[in-house]
Structure formats: C-alpha cells, structure tokens
Amino acid sequence: MDQSSAGAGGNSLTSVGPDAQKRRVCYFYDPEVGNYYYGQGHPMKPHRVRMTHSLLAHYGLLDQMQVFRPHPARDRDLCRFHADDYIAFLRTVTPETQHEQIRSLKRFNVGEDCPVFDGLYTYCQTYAGASVGGAVKLNHGHDIAINWSGGLHHAKKCEASGFCYVNDIVLAILELLKYQERVLYVDIDIHHGDGVEEAFYTTNRVMTVSFHKFGDYFPGTGDIRDIGYSEGKYYCLNVPLDDGIDDESYLFIFKPIMSKVMEMFRPGAVVLQCGADSLSGDRLGCFNLSIKGHAECVKFMRSFNVPLLLLGGGGYTIRNVARCWCYETGVALGQEIEDKMPVSEYYEYFGPDYTIHVAPSNMENKNTHQQLQDIKCKIVDNLSKLQHAPSVQFQERAPETKLPEPDEDQEDPDERHDPDSDMELDYHKPLEASARRSLTEGNRVKREFSEMETKDQHGSRVTTEHRGPEHMAEDIAPSKQTPPADANAMAMYAPGSVKAEPESSTKLPDPSAMHQKP
C-alpha cells in the first residue's frame, strides 16, 4: 500500500502564524489497547486511549496522519533496558499463578499499584512497540510521531512502579540515539519522570527535564538539586512545583527554560511526555492547568522544528484525558479543532457541556511569582554551566531496528500485521543496576482506591541529597551516519481503518463492562 494513500500522506495542514510549516505526522494505535483492565477501582484505565482514538476519528484528524498499528516489542527489544529476569517474570506471571510467586511479586514491585492482570505482558509489548516504532519513524524522516498509549515513565530496569511496567520512553530514546547525537526528554506529567531520569543520569547525550509536583508526593524524587552525575552533570533538570499552578504560571517557567535548553543542548530529537494528570480536576492530580495551557507546551516544542515524539502518561479523569490528547493531536497537525464535540460512541462521557475545553477551577495557586522566578534562575544558572551542544566521537552505530517488509502478495494490506514478525533488533546488554535513592514504603504508593476519597499526596518527601553514580545503557554509543533502512517497512493502515483482531483469551471480552463511566 502506498503511504501517500493514507489521508493527506501524513502532512499536517498549515496553521496561521509563524509556525505554519507542514509536519509529516504519524500515529500509532492498537485497537486492543482499550481492553486491558488494571482491575476494579484502579485509577489507570487504558480505555482512555480508545476514547481518544474515537475523538480523533470523529474530528477527522486520522485522515491527516499516517496511522500505524504497532508491532509488539519482543523480549530482546525490552531487554535493551530491562533486566532479563524481570521481563521473564512479566511474560509468565498470570492472575491465576501469581500466588505461587509471592517472592518475585515483592522483588519486582508488582502487586497493589502495579497489579497482575490478564494480558499484562501483551499490553507491555504493545505500548512499548508503539513508542519504539515512533522513534524509528522519526529516524527515517517523519517530523512528529504520536503514541498516546505510551509515556509510562516510572518503570525501572528491574521493577514496576506507579502503574508502569516497561519503560517505553527509555526504549524509544535508545532507538533515537542510533541516529541522533543528542535527545531531549521533557516531562509535563504531574509526577516526576524518575525512571527516565535514572536511566540517563550519567550521560550527556540525553537531557531530561521534568516539571512536576514536589513535596509529599509520589514518587518523592525530582529535587531541583538533582542535576545528573559524572558526564551527565547538569544534563538533568528538575522543576519542582506546588499545588494549584495555572496556565500563566506554568508557561512563565516552561517557555524560558525550554528555550534555553534548546539553545544550549541543540537536540536532534525531542521526546515529550504529555501526562494529563497535570490538568485541572484530575482524580489524582493537584495542578490547575487548562487543556489549552497543557497543549501550549506541545505547541511550543513543536515550534522548534525538531523531530518530536509525543507520548501519553498519567491522567485519571479519563474524559479530560481524551479531550486533552485529541486537542494536542490537532496541535501536532497545526489544526485548531472545534470546541463543540462531534457525536461519537463515547459522547455521553463528555456531558453536560460536550466540549473539548473545560474551565479550570478556582483553587489557590501556591506557586508565588518569586518562587517561580527563583526556580527559573537556578535552572538557567545550571544550564549556563554546560558547553554548547556537547560533541561526541563518532563510533560504530548500534544495530538498527528493522521492521518487517510487508507481504506484497497479500490482497488486503490491512491484514499484514503478524505478531510473530515484529522488530528485528540485535540483543544488547541491559542497563547496569542504578544506585537509586531509597524510598519509604509510603513513597511507593500512587494508587487512589476510590473517587470519593480525598486525594492522597502519594508518599512522604525524601532527603534530596545529590545522587551517586547511576549507570545508563551501554549501547548508546554515538551513531555513524549510514543509509537509512526502508521507512515503509512497518505494517500500515489507512486512517480510520485500523482493524481489531479477534478477541484474545488474555483480555476481558466486554469493554463496556470493564470501564465505569465517570
């Protein structure tokens, strides 16, 4: 199937103003993702990704992107970052057998926040495969790639954390580093992006920037004094914020910091984690951002014309998550979508207003102008200690992730997806163990059991001393420019026609029975 036949060929429509350049946008979605179910009362609901996809279809945005069904990541793909025994555990554990593996459950932090559920490993393969697939597309000419099922930034090399099992972000960054000398990671989830920061804490090839709630809040990390270690010193930036921050205050600190980061670091690609739990009214959050304010961060990073990977993340008031990620897909395409929603199968979720935008609350903003100014000055001061755009010695590039060639003999291109013929990726040693700061048991708890409960602050604050060495992946050596592989080698689906495969016995069969409406 010719890629140009997919809607507008992935080229976004022009927008008004200085940022009117077209972008070649691709979007990854698996129609099964909404079927995975963390369990009754658990705030993480993959169903929100299906709601987002429905809005995109009814707004006509799928027609303006190339739509791909991701190839599931295999064991060796996941083990580029994660430990072999951890991945083996995720692959084999089931709800029926977990009681026989109590020691492993504790060892890998799987249980309350990160439960064992039907299809867990397939779920991890799906969202990780989508993020790595997006990175491959950026390495081969796309301007923007989107995976709203990804962005699970808390997962560690050897353990699950904060609803996250596999760190798709780290895997995507490792893929980008095969072609890019430097990759920037930006996190606007309300929770600190600890798993990604930890993975790249000692390298100057990845800069991590996290804007998050800090102080008596999960995961307890992300102090402004945590700045990286060894070669990675000053390549880790943490922006600690307090309750109630609004659009004006957030953008007051976000834009100048990110402008300075782009000037000093000059990344070849940007990964933006768009966790929607920083929105006003989130079930687990305590910020007061509007959807437009949140999306302004996406628009701002898009304006630098650097390859951009947009990922999901947190977000627990699912009607607002779907609103946000739909609107931000429009931003990626250079489109301002109508506020009034089109009728869709999930239309009743968005009442009584049935609009994309929701007014923020009148909650107190505890971030004073002086506090934000002090944080901004400290961050900019740290950036001033960097050399402009660190140079790297060119070495042999890590083996490329190759996607399977489509079968030209098959009559229906929409049926080319073969779960057994996904990414070909040479095995690499996983990351070495990280010397993480010890967290109290309270800091490990992110879950809220009932919407009727008062919002928990997710753990106690930990001592914010500078960290010791934390080792990153061994296989992020600088890349040598070589002819790119076939960028069309991933199974592709025409916009709006991503076909669901037959229900698997590992997933709950009735989505409507799984997810309670808000």
Q: What is the pLDDT of residues 363-376, one digit of tens each?
A: 999 999 999 999 99
Helix, strand, or coil (residue 126): helix
Residues 272-287: tens digit of each pLDDT: 999 999 999 999 999 9
Angle at 487 between CA 9 and CA 24, to 5 degrees: 35
Q: Which is the catalytic residue, given 53, 58, 153, 154?
A: 154
Indicate whether 432 pLDDT > 80. no
Mean pLDDT over residues 215-226, rounded?
Answer: 97
Single-letter residue type at 49: V
The whole-number average pLDDT for the span 427-441 is: 37
CA–CA gap between residue 380 and residue 374 (Å, rounded): 10
Confidence band of 22 (pLDDT split at 50, 70, 90): confident
Please check the confidence at residue 486 and state whether its pLDDT lies above 50.
Answer: no
Per-residue pLDDT tens over the stretch 463-483 = 333 333 334 444 454 433 333
Tell which residue, 100, 198, 183, 274, has the closest CA to residue 471: 198
Peptide bond before residue 511 is cis, with ω within 30 degrees of 0: no
Q: In which band, very low, low, confident or very high, does the pLDDT at 387 lie, cut at 50, 70 and 90?
A: confident
- Is 154 catalytic? The answer is yes
Among the residue ranges 294-308, 334-348, 429-443, the one predicted with the least confidence is 429-443
pLDDT of residue 60: 98
Query: Mean pLDDT in the chain?
Result: 81
Provide, rounded to the nearest whole percent, the portion of the chain with pLDDT above 70. 71
Q: Which helix (H) or strand (E) holds 47?
A: helix 47-58
Contacts of 330 (CB under 8 A, 6+ apart): 59, 61, 336, 337
Look at residue 514 in the predicted model and tell me its pLDDT: 37
